[in-house]
Amino acid sequence: LKKKLRDTERILKKQGIPETIKRAAERKLKDFKDQLKEREDRLKNDKMAKKYKMVKFFEQKKTLRKLKTCISQVDGASDQEKAKLHDLADQYKTNLAYIKYYPTGKKYIALY
């Protein structure tokens, strides 16, 4: 792809080429640049996803464990404690959503 990009740039630098060929080469050049940018973005996303996969996995397990203990404590709690535990459970569910849906192309910011 980079070779095609360079070849197209060389064609555009030539003197005395017809206008139709020049316009076609400019379109190709734009397409090649877009494809190259997409490929680089995809590689960056894959690299970041691979880098933070284990961290996200451990955080998910930790949050699920805390959520389970919170839910099990609701059974033997008083009304005031139940409200606190429900709020805490909602917070853990929000944390799970954060872990699951965090964009893969960005640096992951750990919760714990």
At 5, the amino acid letter reads L
Whole-prediction pTM: 0.70
Mean pLDDT, rounded, for 82-101: 94
Per-residue pLDDT, 62: 97
Q: Judge whether 105 and 53 are in contact, CB under 8 Å.
A: no
Q: Provide the mean pLDDT of the chain.
A: 91
The residue that leads in pLDDT, 75 or 108, is 108
**Count of C-beta atoms within a 10 Å radius of residue 78:** 8
Per-residue pLDDT, 69: 93
> What's the pLDDT tens digit per position in 40-91?
999 999 999 999 999 999 999 999 999 999 989 988 888 889 889 999 999 9
Confidence class of residue 11 from pLDDT cuts 50, 70 and 90? confident
Helix then strand then coil, in percent of the chain rounded to 5, is: 80, 0, 20
**How is the chain split into domains, by residue range?**
1-101
Per-residue pLDDT, 64: 97
